Structure 1
């Protein structure tokens, strides 16, 4: 089942690199910068527009959030997106371990981390 949206966090990765990755993975339709820390993109995949928000300093000063506000992404969950992002960006990537559900008993501090040392679950506090 496809997640309703995808969100990942990248460590110390310039926004320009993120935009360049997304421009290769999708067709870039529109770009705007509502603030100095926020970049919004509209990308196209399979005739579907996908809104993407890139927010610097989303988790501390060093993490940038990449949020795909769509269920039309090519990934089934956050983890699949995180793996592709790490391959493309070579920056540490973190995502929710279990995906987000409206109701459920998942631990909100349980995360998945991918970096040059490997990948696995960890507690992000």
Structure 2
């Protein structure tokens, strides 16, 4: 099972639905309004089921965590997924740099930040 997680700043709910619909088949979100609560859904990709979860308020009030889980996904890494989301939505996207592990201190944790300035490794805060 592969899972990808990105964080989208100031996400407009229709934007994520449109972006996912361009890369996945049959995207079904339970409710595409992000009124401060989690939104769950499913989609298909190459005949495989994909779970879609949106968590508003993750990583700070202005970010929504987008998690995709499935046997086959359109992107090989969080960064590839973030790049695709950035191109589609034009709002700041963040994702793990891939070197942090559960239980490690977070003060030195580095994240990819994609925005109008480009791609940069940065500390979250």
What TM-score range do you get, normalising by the shorter chain? 0.7 to 0.9
1:38 Cα deviation after fit = 1.6
Q: How does 1:34-45 map to 2 (within 5 A)?
A: 36=35, 37-45=37-45
TM-score normalised by length of structure 2: 0.84
Note closer, same or farther for the CA distance 1:76–1:6 as it changes in structure 2 (3 Å cut).
same
Q: Secondary structure at the match of 1:58?
A: coil
Q: How does 1:46-125 map to 2 (within 5 A)?
A: 46-98=46-98, 109-125=109-125
Counterparts of 2:8 and 2:94, CA distance in 1: 6
Unmatched 5+ stretches in structure 2: none
1:46 Cα deviation after fit = 0.3
1:44 Cα deviation after fit = 0.9
Q: Secondary structure at the match of 2:72?
A: coil
Counterparts of 1:101 and 1:70, CA distance in 2: 21
RMSD: 2.6
- Total equivalences in the alignment: 122
Give 2:20's aligned residue. Answer: 22
1:4 Cα deviation after fit = 2.5
Unmatched 5+ stretches in structure 1: none
Counterparts of 2:70 and 2:102, CA distance in 1: 16
Give every structure 1 segment of 4 or more consecutive aligned residues whose post-TM-superposition deviation is greater than 6 Å: none
Deviations 1:72-122, CA, capped at 9 Å, x for gaps: 111111001000110011111000001666799x98721001001111101
Counterparts of 1:49 and 1:100, CA distance in 2: 28
